[in-house]
Structure 1
Amino acid sequence: MGKLGMFFAGLVLTLVMSVQAEPVTSLQVIFQHYRFNAPPNPVLVAQPHADLLLLKYSTAKGKQYLAFSKEPELDPACKWVTLLNQFNQPELLSEACQAVHKSFSATFKAHPSLPFKLGQQPEFYAFSSAGNTFLFSPLATGGALKIDTDFLTDQQLKQLLAH
């Protein structure tokens, strides 16, 4: 077989392998030592600092994003883990946490169509605000992991957290 024949044989093999390859269904993202299954093919990936990772799925400004961030404690007297675990029972919170709960509740509401607690380990708590979805998970090191999106469906959010 000549060089031209080898070229065409290689081209055919490449095309066959391309056709048989399975489509990419998720993008593995690791942030703050946690693994997530993000939608594939972002048009932009940015990490301006260690505590923020942004995936953009549209060229439109401020649209179709998925953001991962590490949030500091809201108040030294009220840890995220306490606030989130008792969010639906604010009467059980300390006075300091009740003040934080009141402020937090003014912006964030329990997400209407997702279970309040999602995932196995770590547990994420689902909230919504102004058409966006926010998932919070307290970190053992203090603070919380926050996931913020304006376009993922409930099913895609569950897939995001599936390991």
Structure 2
Amino acid sequence: MDEFFKTPIEYLKGVGAARAEALKKELGITSYGDLLQHFPFKYIDRTRFYKVKEVSPDLPYVQVLARLMHKEIVGEKAARRLVAVAQDETGPIELVWFQGITRIEQNLTVGKAYIFFGKPGFFNNKPQIAHPETELYSIKPAENKGSLALQPAYTSTEKLK
């Protein structure tokens, strides 16, 4: 079993020689054992939902369960963005995306409930999340992927993205 942990990382499916070299250079990971001992530097608590009225720009991130009420693409050329409004029982929150807006817009359905996660802010004195992670809400908890769990956060570099 000891030999397994010494197996070079490039033999792990999906890694290959180039990524193995980047892992070695950037994080010092050369073997399966090194990878298994590469722990997160923190955990993001996604075990709770905030009500819209609780959203504050002082929070590092929030997770909101809300129904999508409206969506539209506004602006032209470089200023194009997708603006949506979602609402829970305490009020509305604005959601804004500046990149990938066509794909995101196609995947959002007005009237459905979503889980939105991201850094909160205020714009024009209204709560807002720019580029939130978005997941369709399911009443079956097991179908809400990682939305109700601790999420590990690892150090990384541009070369590993």
Give the greater-gyration-radius structure (CA): 1
